[in-house]
Amino acid sequence: MTPILLLLVCLTLGVLVARFAHPPMGLAQGLNWWVINIALPALVLELIPRLHFDPQLWFLVVTQWLVFVGAALFFHLLGGRLGWSRARIGCMILMTGLGNTSFVGFPLLEALRGREGLALGVVADQLGCFVALAVGGVLVSAIYSGKQPKAREIVRRVALFPPFLALAAGVVLGLLGGWPVPAEEVLHRIGQTLVPLALFSVGLRLKLQFGGGQAAPLAMALGWKLAVIPMLMLGLGLATGVSGLVLTIGVLQAAMAPMISAAILCDQHHLEPPLANTILGSGILLSLVTVPLWSYMLG
């Protein structure tokens, strides 16, 4: 109960501060920098050395890639049939193909499935969703905005991303026996800043701006992302013999709300930013209900 309460309090504080307290410019960006470059690597370095690897872990990674590929295929075909602009198609692919598997995902996973579930969620986020963002996100945003994606930029983003480097270091440290207790305690305390600061930052950016013509694509995006995709990933897991906590975390990460970075890509590449922000805000709020429901159904 306490982790869920912390999630709601931090998110609400962010919304209230943005609305009434006139926070300094760049506060959300500064908090995001700490979360991505300090808190998340510390969390990864703490949890990954403890993780016991087994063959089923492929499910955590592959499902995130399939979420993106599925969105790209579905909305490319659907958008063509409905006569959508390339900007709208690109927006829908990014907002449904990339999940909020860290800023919202980690707090939810810890609240619903504990630290063991959170450790598996890190694998899905770093090897699955982050790679989909770095490769697929760059490709889609460039293609649908008429630009040429650069392979060197994609490789550089993956190779130098601090949490990804922490993941590689964590695997090595796990093979060597893990951290000494004092170092693990320091990493734990730094990593604990991720949840409150990430959710506070989400609250600062949370906006609902419903515009004309957004109802249909909004319903399609949220229905696909929060209901259809996790159902398909659950079917894949059951069909391939995946079970236990790995199956649960894979489905829950697939069911997470749209990613904040996806909305930023839409804004940078002029892929219907108003629609992207509406999908983002609505998706985050709705996922606070739908993800716990998926967790309950998975047992």
Interval 110-169: pLDDT, tens: 889 998 998 899 899 888 888 888 788 878 888 888 777 677 776 777 677 787 888 889
Is the CB of residue 257 less than 8 Å from the CB of residue 99? Answer: yes
**pTM value > 0.85:** no
Q: Is the pLDDT of residue 1 over 70?
A: no
Closest CA to 111 of 247, 244, 1: 1
CA atoms of 15 and 207, how far apart (whole Å)? 9
CA atoms of 41 and 264, how far apart (whole Å)? 22
CA atoms of 121 and 27, how far apart (whole Å)? 27
Per-residue model confidence as pLDDT tens digits over 35-46: 888 988 898 898
Give backbone dihedrals phi and psi of 132, rounded to 5 degrees, phi first.
-60, -40
Is the CB of residue 57 less than 8 Å from the CB of residue 63? Answer: no
Mean pLDDT, the chain, whole residue set: 88
Tell me, what amino acid is at 91? Answer: C
Could you tell me the sign of the dihedral formed by the alpha carbons of 147, 148, 152, 156, in that order?
positive
What's the pLDDT at 287? Answer: 93
Residue 290 — pLDDT band, cuts 50, 70, 90? very high
Q: What share of the chain has pLDDT > 70, as a percent?
A: 96
Instruction: Please tell me which residue, 268 or 75, carries the higher pLDDT value.
Output: 75
Instruction: Take residue 266 and report the two structure tokens written for it.
Output: 């839409």
Q: What is the mean pLDDT of residues 7-33?
A: 88
Instruction: Take residue 221 and report the two structure tokens written for it.
Output: 């995006």
DSSP state of 108: H
Per-residue model confidence as pLDDT tens digits over 188-218: 999 888 878 878 887 887 776 666 778 899 9
Residue 250 — pLDDT band, cuts 50, 70, 90? very high
What does the domain layout of the chain look like in residue ranges?
26-195+204-298
Instruction: Please tell me which residue, 252 or 118, carries the higher pLDDT value.
Output: 252
DSSP state of 23: P
Instruction: Identify the architecture of domain 26-195+204-298 in CATH.
Output: Up-down Bundle (1.20)
Locate all alpha helices (DSSP H) within the chain, ordered by sequence: 2-16, 27-34, 40-47, 58-82, 86-97, 105-123, 130-131, 138-143, 151-160, 162-175, 181-191, 194-205, 215-223, 229-239, 244-254, 260-268, 273-298
Residue 299's Cα: distance from chain center in Å?
A: 22
